[in-house]
Structure formats: C-alpha cells, structure tokens
C-alpha cells in the first residue's frame, strides 16, 4: 500500500522523523538515498524576526533536498504560523508540517510544540489558518497528549482532520514523558481508527520486527524513525527490504557492506563541513562521528573511548576527515579479524 500525502505518492512507508540539530540537509540527503520515504527538515521558528538568523538560514531547504520537500514550522500564533507556512512554500516546500510534538522547554515556555495540545481551541485556529494560507498539503506531528491523564490525541486528530490537515504523525509518548519510558501504541491505534486521513506512527521503532508489530497492531499508514537512524542512516534500506511498496526497490536491496558504510560516513562528514563551513562543521560532525563509531565498535568500549578522545581533539576540518578515513580503514582490519566481524559489519 502506497502512502499519499496530498498529490505525493511516497516511495516508502518508512519515513525519517524531524530532529532539530540532526536532520539537516546533509543528513536528509543520506536518508533519502537509503530509501526514506520522506525526509522532513528541522523545525523552523515561525517568528519572522528570526528569519535571517544563521540558525534559521541553515535550516532552510537546500538544493540537495528531494521532492516532496517537507518543512516543519513551530510557533504559537496562528497568523505568524500562517505567514511562516507561506514563506516556506514560496521557498520551495512541497509539504508544511506543524510541530506539536516537541517537548523542549525553550519551545514549551511559549506554549508551542507539544504544549499546544493543552489548548485545543488554539490548535484549531493554528491549523485552520495554516491550511488556509497555502495551497500545498499541511501535516501535523503530535504526541499522545500532555500527560498520562490528559491524552487528547484523538480530539486533536479530529480537529486536524476537520481543519484540512493531510496526515498526522504521532509519537506514542505524552509531553510530560519527554523521552522517558516507552512509546505506547494503543493511543496511536485509537487515533488511526478515529480519522480517515493517513496516520503515521513514531517512537522507539528500532527494528523491522518492531515495525511489523506496530503496523499490524495500529494499522497505521506509515512509520517514522528518529533516533535509531543516528549513526546508521542506511537502516532505511533494511526496513524497506520488508516494507517497501515498490517491488523494484525490494528486488534491488543488497546488504550494506563495510565499504558502503565507510564511504557514506566520509561523504556525510564532508557534506557537513561544506554545509556549515569548516569551523562549525567540525563541531557538528563530532556528534555524528561519535554515533557512527558507537555503531561500529560500541561492543568494544575501550576502543570506542580511545577513538572518540583522539578524534574529538581535532579542530581542523581536513584533519578530522583524514583522521576518520584512516581510522575507518584500520577498523576494517581490526574488526575483520574478530568474531564480531559478521554481526557488526554486514
Ligand atoms: C535531538 C532530537 C530533536 C528532535 N527535534 C524534533 C523536531 O524538531 N520536531 C519534531 O516534531 N520532533 C522532534 N524530535 C522528536 C522526533 O521526531 C521523534 O518524535 C522522537 O525522537 C521519537 O521517535 P524515535 O523514538 O524514533 O526517536 C526530536 C527528537 C530528538 C531526539
């Protein structure tokens, strides 16, 4: 079954979750390349006074972004949210996503992100204004509710459907949970049953087996992967092997080899240096390098610690890339000699 968002038929039902500070243009490009059906950008504030800030500029769509290009906006005032949607549509967004899932204090102090779920009438105004402002699909990302005794996802979903929202992604946690505990899928299942628009499940999906269970249990239209992709953006390929709607993709999926991982990591780091410039790029690259190394040698904590300590000291972009290249080269031999080679590397 193919997921359609407005006029866009997505190539896969496995989508990337928006993550501020992570799903920047280089990351989106990699995830798209490995088969993510949608690669939303990091949230952009609706505050027009911040439109020219360096942060907002870096978060705008780039020419590496592939259609459908989804931009997420966050804010609290209906007119500003509508203007932000218009602004991003003019810059080339194909889909506008509204953030009602973020629990971050900075956002919630202004009653934005998931805090908005506390105020259904404001939600209605924001969604209605944004849908009215643009002639492209508007989607919503939310949580199950505000707190465990205030799970109003079904109510918000109905408001969204009535306001003309095209699809809803739901993270199976409440705002109060932040990222603690586990995502639950009973509320997601109820939301799916209560609306006719596509529903996308999100939260703690870490394997194709989880995905199968959640799809069967909730009957949702698609799944969104967040933190599990960190340090392994190629994971979309493994999920797609089972869930792609396209038999063409299914038949062409090959295991990810160490060589592919190595080339992907190095390409990613170079793209980060280009996107942010070398100074900021080196700092941003460190977190991704940490995740990549963890995925490769997390089972050897001393080696992981030493490699991270060495590479995190480097502050020059070329040196960082060069060191990482050598490190990945050496790791291939270190790990290929060990019994972990097949489990970690293929
Ligand atoms: C570092 C980080 C940044 C995030 N930023 C956003 C964001 O900008 N917008 C949003 O809707 N959700 C954001 N999220 C939430 C994720 O999209 C997702 O809902 C959450 O991580 C649960 O999915 P997961 O268990 O697959 O990671 C963020 C999550 C993380 C970890």
Mean pLDDT of the region 159-184? 96
Q: Do residues 275 and 315 both lie within one domain?
A: yes
Span of 76-80, 98-102, 242-246, 267-271 with lowest mean pLDDT = 242-246
Pair type for strands 95-100 and 4-5? unpaired
Kindly state whether residues 135 and 63 are assigned to the same domain: yes
Task: Clarify whether residues 73 and 206 are in a common domain.
Answer: yes
pLDDT at residue 221, rounded to an integer: 97
Q: How far apart are CA 170 and CA 124, in angstroms?
A: 17
How remote is the CA of residue 62 from the centroid of ligand 1, in Å?
21
- Give the residue whose CA is nearest to atom 7 of ligand 1: 19
Domain span at 237 = 4-252
Query: For residues 175 and 144, what is the distance between their CA atoms, to the nearest angstrom?
Result: 8
Select from 200, 225, 252 the last residue of a domain. Answer: 252
Specify whether 68 is located in the same domain as 168.
Answer: yes
Which residue out of 31, 70, 102, 327 is catalytically annotated? 102
**246 and 289 belong to one structural domain:** no
Residues 281, 133 share a domain = no
User: Are 183 and 204 in contact, with CB atoms under 8 Å apart?
Assistant: yes
Count of structural domains within the chain: 2
| Tens-digit pLDDT profile for residues 302-337 | 999 999 999 999 999 999 999 999 999 999 887 775
Share of the chain above pLDDT 70, in %: 92
- Ligand 1 neighbourhood includes 228 CB (under 6 angstroms): yes
| Interval between CA 320 and ligand 1 midpoint (Å) | 28
**Do residues 222 and 288 both lie within one domain?**
no
The residues near 55 (Cβ < 8 Å, ≥ 6 apart) are none
pLDDT over 80 (residue 83): yes
Residue 52: band (very low, low, confident or very high) from pLDDT cuts 50, 70, 90? confident
On whether both 206 and 79 belong to a single domain, the answer is: yes
Asked whether the predicted pLDDT for residue 279 surpasses 80, the reply is: yes
Q: What is the Å distance from ligand 1's center to 58 Cα?
A: 18
Mean pLDDT to the nearest integer, 272-290 = 96
* pTM (two decimals): 0.93
Please say if 31 is a catalytic residue: no
| 225 lies in the same domain as 324 | no
Shared domain for 238 and 147, answered yes or no, is: yes
């Amino acid at each position: 079954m193919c997921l359609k968002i407005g006029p866009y038929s997505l190539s896969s039902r496995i989508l990337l979750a928006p993550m501020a500070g992570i799903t920047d243009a280089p990351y989106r490009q990699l995830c798209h390349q490995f088969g993510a059906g949608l690669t939303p950008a990091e949230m952009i504030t609706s505050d027009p006074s911040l439109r020219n800030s360096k942060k907002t500029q870096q978060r705008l769509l780039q020419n590496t972004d592939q259609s459908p290009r989804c931009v997420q906006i966050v804010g609290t005032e209906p007119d500003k949210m509508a203007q932000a949607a218009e602004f991003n549509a003019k810059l080339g967004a194909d889909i506008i996503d509204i953030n009602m899932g973020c629990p971050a204090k900075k956002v919630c102090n202004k009653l934005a992100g998931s805090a908005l779920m506390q105020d259904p009438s404001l939600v209605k105004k924001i969604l209605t204004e944004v849908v009215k402002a643009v002639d492209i699909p508007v989607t919503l990302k939310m949580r199950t509710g505000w707190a465990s005794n205030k799970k109003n996802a079904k109510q918000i979903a109905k408001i969204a459907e009535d306001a003309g929202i095209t699809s809803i992604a739901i993270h199976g946690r409440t705002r109060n949970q932040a990222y603690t505990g586990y995502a639950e899928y009973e509320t997601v299942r109820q939301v799916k049953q209560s609306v006719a628009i596509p529903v996308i499940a999100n939260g703690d999906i870490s394997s194709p087996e989880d995905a199968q269970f959640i799809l069967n249990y909730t009957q949702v239209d698609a799944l969104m992967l967040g933190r599990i992709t960190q340090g392994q953006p190629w994971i979309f390929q493994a999920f797609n092997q089972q869930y792609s709607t396209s038999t063409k993709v299914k038949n062409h999926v090959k295991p990810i080899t160490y060589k592919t991982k190595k080339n992907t990591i190095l390409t990613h780091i170079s793209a980060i240096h280009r996107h942010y410039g070398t100074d900021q790029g080196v700092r941003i690259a460190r977190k991704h390098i940490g995740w990549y190394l963890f995925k490769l040698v997390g089972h050897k904590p001393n080696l992981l610690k030493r490699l991270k300590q060495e590479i995190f000291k480097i502050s020059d972009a070329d040196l960082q890339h060069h060191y990482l290249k050598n490190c990945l080269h050496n790791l291939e031999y270190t790990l290929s000699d060990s019994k972990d080679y097949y489990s970690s590397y293929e």
